[in-house]
Amino acid sequence: MTRLLYFVKQALSGMRAAPFVHGVAALTIAVALLLSGVVGALALQARALLEQWGLRAEITVYLTPQVAPAEAEYLARQAAELTSGTARYVTAHEALQELAAALGEEGEALRELPENPLPASVRVVPAVGTTAAEVEVLARALGKLPGVLDVDYGRAWIDRITGLSRAAGVIGLTLLPLILLGAAVLAASVVRLAIHARSAEIEIQRLVGATNAFVRLPFLVEGAFAGLLGGLLGAGGLFAVAWYVGPALEAALPLPAELQPAALAGPVPLLLVVGAGTALGLLASAISVGRHLR
Protein backbone atom coordinates (compact mmCIF):
# COMPACT_ATOMS: atom_id res chain seq x y z
CA MET A 1 0.00 0.00 0.00
CA THR A 2 2.86 2.35 0.86
CA ARG A 3 4.54 1.64 -2.45
CA LEU A 4 1.29 2.30 -4.32
CA LEU A 5 0.91 5.66 -2.58
CA TYR A 6 4.50 6.47 -3.56
CA PHE A 7 3.74 5.79 -7.22
CA VAL A 8 0.60 7.92 -7.07
CA LYS A 9 2.47 10.80 -5.39
CA GLN A 10 5.23 10.61 -7.98
CA ALA A 11 2.69 10.69 -10.81
CA LEU A 12 0.84 13.66 -9.31
CA SER A 13 4.15 15.45 -8.74
CA GLY A 14 5.05 14.95 -12.40
CA MET A 15 1.70 16.32 -13.50
CA ARG A 16 2.05 19.37 -11.25
CA ALA A 17 5.49 20.01 -12.69
CA ALA A 18 4.08 20.24 -16.23
CA PRO A 19 0.38 21.12 -15.94
CA PHE A 20 0.08 22.64 -19.41
CA VAL A 21 1.29 19.64 -21.41
CA HIS A 22 -0.75 17.24 -19.31
CA GLY A 23 -3.78 19.47 -19.74
CA VAL A 24 -3.31 19.49 -23.51
CA ALA A 25 -3.00 15.70 -23.51
CA ALA A 26 -6.15 15.31 -21.40
CA LEU A 27 -8.06 17.77 -23.59
CA THR A 28 -6.98 15.97 -26.76
CA ILE A 29 -8.12 12.64 -25.35
CA ALA A 30 -11.40 14.26 -24.28
CA VAL A 31 -12.11 15.64 -27.76
CA ALA A 32 -11.25 12.31 -29.37
CA LEU A 33 -13.54 10.43 -26.99
CA LEU A 34 -16.33 12.98 -27.43
CA LEU A 35 -16.25 12.60 -31.21
CA SER A 36 -16.02 8.83 -30.90
CA GLY A 37 -18.95 8.73 -28.48
CA VAL A 38 -21.22 10.92 -30.60
CA VAL A 39 -20.48 9.15 -33.89
CA GLY A 40 -20.59 5.69 -32.31
CA ALA A 41 -23.91 6.41 -30.60
CA LEU A 42 -25.27 7.84 -33.85
CA ALA A 43 -24.37 4.66 -35.74
CA LEU A 44 -25.87 2.39 -33.06
CA GLN A 45 -29.03 4.46 -32.77
CA ALA A 46 -29.47 4.54 -36.55
CA ARG A 47 -29.27 0.75 -36.64
CA ALA A 48 -31.73 0.52 -33.76
CA LEU A 49 -34.05 2.86 -35.65
CA LEU A 50 -33.90 0.61 -38.71
CA GLU A 51 -34.73 -2.44 -36.59
CA GLN A 52 -37.58 -0.70 -34.80
CA TRP A 53 -38.93 0.66 -38.08
CA GLY A 54 -39.15 -2.90 -39.33
CA LEU A 55 -40.99 -3.99 -36.17
CA ARG A 56 -43.68 -1.32 -36.52
CA ALA A 57 -43.76 -1.02 -40.31
CA GLU A 58 -47.02 -0.85 -42.23
CA ILE A 59 -47.17 -1.59 -45.93
CA THR A 60 -49.90 0.07 -47.96
CA VAL A 61 -50.83 -1.78 -51.15
CA TYR A 62 -52.81 0.49 -53.50
CA LEU A 63 -55.26 -1.26 -55.81
CA THR A 64 -56.33 -0.49 -59.34
CA PRO A 65 -59.93 0.78 -59.83
CA GLN A 66 -60.83 -2.46 -61.64
CA VAL A 67 -60.37 -4.61 -58.50
CA ALA A 68 -63.74 -5.66 -57.09
CA PRO A 69 -64.30 -5.79 -53.30
CA ALA A 70 -64.34 -9.61 -53.29
CA GLU A 71 -61.04 -9.68 -55.16
CA ALA A 72 -59.58 -7.11 -52.78
CA GLU A 73 -60.58 -9.25 -49.78
CA TYR A 74 -58.92 -12.25 -51.39
CA LEU A 75 -55.80 -10.15 -52.07
CA ALA A 76 -55.76 -9.09 -48.41
CA ARG A 77 -55.74 -12.75 -47.35
CA GLN A 78 -52.89 -13.41 -49.77
CA ALA A 79 -50.93 -10.48 -48.33
CA ALA A 80 -51.49 -11.72 -44.76
CA GLU A 81 -50.20 -15.17 -45.66
CA LEU A 82 -47.23 -13.77 -47.55
CA THR A 83 -46.10 -11.53 -44.68
CA SER A 84 -47.19 -13.84 -41.82
CA GLY A 85 -48.93 -10.77 -40.39
CA THR A 86 -52.29 -9.09 -40.74
CA ALA A 87 -53.92 -7.32 -43.66
CA ARG A 88 -57.07 -5.22 -43.97
CA TYR A 89 -58.96 -4.10 -47.05
CA VAL A 90 -59.69 -0.34 -47.01
CA THR A 91 -62.19 1.01 -49.52
CA ALA A 92 -61.61 4.29 -51.32
CA HIS A 93 -64.48 5.84 -49.32
CA GLU A 94 -62.93 4.72 -45.98
CA ALA A 95 -59.55 6.09 -47.04
CA LEU A 96 -61.09 9.48 -47.86
CA GLN A 97 -62.96 9.61 -44.53
CA GLU A 98 -59.80 8.73 -42.58
CA LEU A 99 -57.81 11.42 -44.38
CA ALA A 100 -60.49 14.02 -43.74
CA ALA A 101 -60.61 13.09 -40.05
CA ALA A 102 -56.82 13.30 -39.78
CA LEU A 103 -56.78 16.81 -41.29
CA GLY A 104 -59.48 18.09 -38.91
CA GLU A 105 -61.26 21.24 -40.05
CA GLU A 106 -59.10 21.47 -43.16
CA GLY A 107 -60.25 18.02 -44.18
CA GLU A 108 -63.93 18.94 -44.32
CA ALA A 109 -63.46 20.14 -47.90
CA LEU A 110 -62.47 16.62 -48.91
CA ARG A 111 -65.90 15.32 -48.00
CA GLU A 112 -67.47 17.69 -50.55
CA LEU A 113 -65.39 16.52 -53.51
CA PRO A 114 -67.53 15.33 -56.44
CA GLU A 115 -65.15 12.43 -57.06
CA ASN A 116 -62.94 10.46 -54.68
CA PRO A 117 -59.28 10.80 -55.79
CA LEU A 118 -58.01 8.08 -53.44
CA PRO A 119 -57.68 4.44 -54.49
CA ALA A 120 -58.75 1.44 -52.47
CA SER A 121 -55.93 -0.28 -50.65
CA VAL A 122 -54.82 -3.15 -48.46
CA ARG A 123 -52.96 -2.22 -45.29
CA VAL A 124 -50.50 -4.88 -44.27
CA VAL A 125 -48.78 -5.19 -40.89
CA PRO A 126 -45.94 -7.75 -41.12
CA ALA A 127 -45.28 -10.25 -38.37
CA VAL A 128 -43.49 -9.07 -35.23
CA GLY A 129 -39.73 -9.30 -35.67
CA THR A 130 -39.71 -8.44 -39.36
CA THR A 131 -36.64 -6.34 -40.14
CA ALA A 132 -36.50 -3.33 -42.42
CA ALA A 133 -34.69 -5.35 -45.10
CA GLU A 134 -37.37 -8.03 -44.95
CA VAL A 135 -40.09 -5.38 -45.23
CA GLU A 136 -38.51 -4.18 -48.47
CA VAL A 137 -38.49 -7.74 -49.86
CA LEU A 138 -42.12 -8.24 -48.84
CA ALA A 139 -43.11 -4.95 -50.48
CA ARG A 140 -41.59 -6.07 -53.79
CA ALA A 141 -43.40 -9.39 -53.54
CA LEU A 142 -46.72 -7.66 -52.83
CA GLY A 143 -46.20 -5.38 -55.81
CA LYS A 144 -46.27 -8.42 -58.10
CA LEU A 145 -49.76 -9.51 -57.01
CA PRO A 146 -52.55 -9.00 -59.60
CA GLY A 147 -54.54 -5.80 -59.24
CA VAL A 148 -51.80 -3.91 -57.38
CA LEU A 149 -51.24 -0.34 -58.53
CA ASP A 150 -48.41 0.66 -56.19
CA VAL A 151 -46.85 -0.27 -52.84
CA ASP A 152 -45.78 2.22 -50.17
CA TYR A 153 -43.55 1.14 -47.29
CA GLY A 154 -41.63 4.32 -46.48
CA ARG A 155 -38.69 3.63 -48.76
CA ALA A 156 -37.46 7.24 -48.81
CA TRP A 157 -37.34 7.33 -45.01
CA ILE A 158 -35.57 4.00 -44.69
CA ASP A 159 -33.03 5.03 -47.35
CA ARG A 160 -32.18 8.17 -45.39
CA ILE A 161 -31.67 6.24 -42.16
CA THR A 162 -29.61 3.60 -43.95
CA GLY A 163 -27.43 6.34 -45.45
CA LEU A 164 -27.00 7.89 -42.02
CA SER A 165 -25.99 4.56 -40.53
CA ARG A 166 -23.50 3.89 -43.32
CA ALA A 167 -21.99 7.37 -43.09
CA ALA A 168 -21.53 6.99 -39.33
CA GLY A 169 -19.94 3.59 -39.91
CA VAL A 170 -17.51 4.97 -42.49
CA ILE A 171 -16.51 7.81 -40.19
CA GLY A 172 -16.13 5.37 -37.32
CA LEU A 173 -13.84 3.11 -39.35
CA THR A 174 -11.68 5.82 -40.93
CA LEU A 175 -11.60 9.16 -39.16
CA LEU A 176 -12.08 8.16 -35.51
CA PRO A 177 -9.16 5.70 -35.34
CA LEU A 178 -6.91 8.47 -36.65
CA ILE A 179 -8.22 10.86 -33.99
CA LEU A 180 -7.70 8.30 -31.22
CA LEU A 181 -4.23 7.48 -32.57
CA GLY A 182 -3.34 11.17 -32.56
CA ALA A 183 -4.53 11.48 -28.95
CA ALA A 184 -2.50 8.44 -27.96
CA VAL A 185 0.62 9.80 -29.69
CA LEU A 186 0.25 13.12 -27.89
CA ALA A 187 -0.21 11.42 -24.54
CA ALA A 188 2.88 9.31 -25.24
CA SER A 189 4.82 12.47 -26.11
CA VAL A 190 3.83 13.99 -22.77
CA VAL A 191 5.14 10.95 -20.91
CA ARG A 192 8.33 11.05 -23.01
CA LEU A 193 8.87 14.69 -22.03
CA ALA A 194 8.36 13.76 -18.39
CA ILE A 195 10.95 11.00 -18.72
CA HIS A 196 13.52 13.39 -20.20
CA ALA A 197 12.81 16.00 -17.53
CA ARG A 198 13.44 13.47 -14.78
CA SER A 199 16.31 11.63 -16.42
CA ALA A 200 18.71 12.51 -13.58
CA GLU A 201 16.26 11.20 -10.98
CA ILE A 202 15.78 8.00 -12.98
CA GLU A 203 19.55 7.48 -13.24
CA ILE A 204 19.93 7.85 -9.47
CA GLN A 205 17.15 5.32 -8.89
CA ARG A 206 18.89 2.83 -11.13
CA LEU A 207 22.24 3.39 -9.40
CA VAL A 208 20.70 2.52 -6.03
CA GLY A 209 19.18 -0.68 -7.44
CA ALA A 210 15.65 0.30 -8.46
CA THR A 211 14.04 -2.25 -10.78
CA ASN A 212 12.65 -1.35 -14.19
CA ALA A 213 9.10 -1.84 -12.89
CA PHE A 214 9.77 0.54 -9.97
CA VAL A 215 11.04 3.22 -12.38
CA ARG A 216 8.28 2.75 -14.94
CA LEU A 217 5.20 2.53 -12.74
CA PRO A 218 4.98 6.24 -11.80
CA PHE A 219 4.95 7.14 -15.50
CA LEU A 220 2.26 4.55 -16.21
CA VAL A 221 0.16 5.97 -13.39
CA GLU A 222 0.80 9.47 -14.74
CA GLY A 223 -0.48 8.48 -18.17
CA ALA A 224 -3.50 6.74 -16.65
CA PHE A 225 -4.33 9.89 -14.66
CA ALA A 226 -4.08 12.05 -17.78
CA GLY A 227 -6.33 9.59 -19.61
CA LEU A 228 -8.76 9.53 -16.67
CA LEU A 229 -8.96 13.32 -16.72
CA GLY A 230 -9.52 13.22 -20.47
CA GLY A 231 -12.22 10.58 -20.01
CA LEU A 232 -13.98 12.70 -17.39
CA LEU A 233 -13.85 15.72 -19.68
CA GLY A 234 -15.14 13.63 -22.58
CA ALA A 235 -17.99 12.28 -20.44
CA GLY A 236 -18.82 15.82 -19.40
CA GLY A 237 -18.90 16.81 -23.07
CA LEU A 238 -21.30 13.98 -23.89
CA PHE A 239 -23.51 15.00 -20.98
CA ALA A 240 -23.54 18.59 -22.24
CA VAL A 241 -24.41 17.46 -25.77
CA ALA A 242 -27.24 15.31 -24.44
CA TRP A 243 -28.85 17.83 -22.10
CA TYR A 244 -28.03 21.22 -23.63
CA VAL A 245 -27.38 20.76 -27.34
CA GLY A 246 -29.88 17.91 -27.65
CA PRO A 247 -33.04 19.86 -26.72
CA ALA A 248 -32.13 22.65 -29.15
CA LEU A 249 -31.59 20.08 -31.89
CA GLU A 250 -34.91 18.36 -31.14
CA ALA A 251 -36.72 21.71 -31.22
CA ALA A 252 -35.29 22.51 -34.65
CA LEU A 253 -35.56 18.97 -36.04
CA PRO A 254 -38.03 16.52 -34.46
CA LEU A 255 -36.28 13.19 -34.02
CA PRO A 256 -37.67 9.69 -33.55
CA ALA A 257 -37.35 8.08 -30.12
CA GLU A 258 -34.41 5.91 -31.22
CA LEU A 259 -32.32 8.98 -32.13
CA GLN A 260 -32.81 10.98 -28.95
CA PRO A 261 -29.54 12.71 -27.86
CA ALA A 262 -30.44 12.05 -24.21
CA ALA A 263 -29.24 8.46 -24.73
CA LEU A 264 -25.67 9.81 -24.71
CA ALA A 265 -26.01 10.77 -21.05
CA GLY A 266 -26.79 7.25 -19.84
CA PRO A 267 -24.55 5.79 -17.12
CA VAL A 268 -23.17 3.07 -19.40
CA PRO A 269 -21.94 5.42 -22.20
CA LEU A 270 -20.42 7.83 -19.68
CA LEU A 271 -18.61 5.06 -17.80
CA LEU A 272 -17.36 3.62 -21.07
CA VAL A 273 -15.92 7.00 -22.07
CA VAL A 274 -14.16 7.41 -18.71
CA GLY A 275 -12.80 3.86 -18.89
CA ALA A 276 -11.70 4.30 -22.50
CA GLY A 277 -9.86 7.51 -21.61
CA THR A 278 -8.00 5.83 -18.76
CA ALA A 279 -7.09 2.86 -20.96
CA LEU A 280 -5.96 5.15 -23.77
CA GLY A 281 -3.69 7.12 -21.46
CA LEU A 282 -2.30 3.95 -19.88
CA LEU A 283 -1.64 2.35 -23.26
CA ALA A 284 0.10 5.44 -24.60
CA SER A 285 2.27 5.61 -21.48
CA ALA A 286 3.15 1.92 -21.68
CA ILE A 287 4.30 2.32 -25.29
CA SER A 288 6.37 5.41 -24.51
CA VAL A 289 7.88 3.98 -21.33
CA GLY A 290 8.70 0.71 -23.07
CA ARG A 291 10.61 2.56 -25.80
CA HIS A 292 12.51 5.04 -23.64
CA LEU A 293 13.19 3.19 -20.40
CA ARG A 294 14.88 0.05 -21.63
Amino acid letter, residue 198: R
Neighbours of 145 (CB within 10 A): 15
Span 259-278, average pLDDT: 76
Between 202 and 251, the higher pLDDT residue? 202
CB 286 within 8 A of CB 191: no
Q: pLDDT category, 46, cuts 50, 70, 90?
A: low
Name the E strands within 64-166: 86-90, 121-125, 148-152
Q: What is the mean pLDDT of residues 266-293?
A: 79
Greater pLDDT, 157 or 235: 235
Highest mean pLDDT among 97-106, 144-153, 171-180: 144-153
Identify the pLDDT of residue 54.
47
Residue ranges and CATH numbers for the domains of the chain are: 2-51+159-292 (no CATH), 58-153 (3.30.70.3040)
Band of residue 270 on the pLDDT scale cut at 50, 70, 90: confident
Angle between helices 212-240 and 155-197 (to 10 degrees): 140
What pLDDT sits at residue 204?
73
Ramachandran region of residue 61, left (φ > 0), alpha (ψ -120 to 50) or beta?
Answer: beta
Overall average pLDDT of the 195-200 stretch: 70
The set of long-range contacts for 143-146, using a CB threshold of 8 Å and a minimum separation of 24, is: 143/61, 145/61, 145/75, 145/78, 145/79, 146/75
Query: Residue 278 above 70 pLDDT?
Result: yes
- Model's pTM, two decimal places? 0.57
